[in-house]
Amino acid sequence: MASIQFIRGLDEETVPEVYLTRAKDGTNGTARFRFDQPRAFDRADASIGDITGMYLVDDEGELVTRDVNARFLNGKPQAIEARYIMRSPEEWDRFMRFMERYARDMGLEFSKA
């Protein structure tokens, strides 16, 4: 099963919007995630743990990014935005395998812009 975590061991239940860009030559790419009202905000406290990054976990292992930011509205957390950078075709392929598993497990589909 594929999952996204902000606090290690706790799967994020909110499904993100994901935007992908890739260089024309296929050498690198970027995935931008936006989670509106993520459950991680409810769980982030001293007894459970802190948000330390975004962890993409599946049966192949774990992909990690520390490029994670919270968005606030009127002083209250509203969203988490994260960016995962792929610097090679192999990293792109690995990320896409994760996303295929995540989409299948969450009942999602891919649509081109």
Measured torsion, CA atoms of residues 35, 40, 41, 43, in degrees rounded to the nearest 10: 160
Q: For residue 20, what are the contacts with CB-CB under 8 A and spacing of at least 6? A: 29, 30, 31, 32
Q: Which domains does the chain have, with CATH numbers?
A: 3-102 (2.40.30.220)
* Stretch (H or E) spanning 5: strand 3-7
pLDDT tens-digit profile, the chain (113 residues): 999 999 888 899 999 999 999 999 988 999 999 999 998 887 655 566 788 899 999 999 999 999 999 999 998 889 999 999 999 999 999 999 999 999 999 988 766 66
Confidence (pLDDT) at 32 = 98
Confidence (pLDDT) at 45 = 57
What is the model's pTM?
A: 0.89
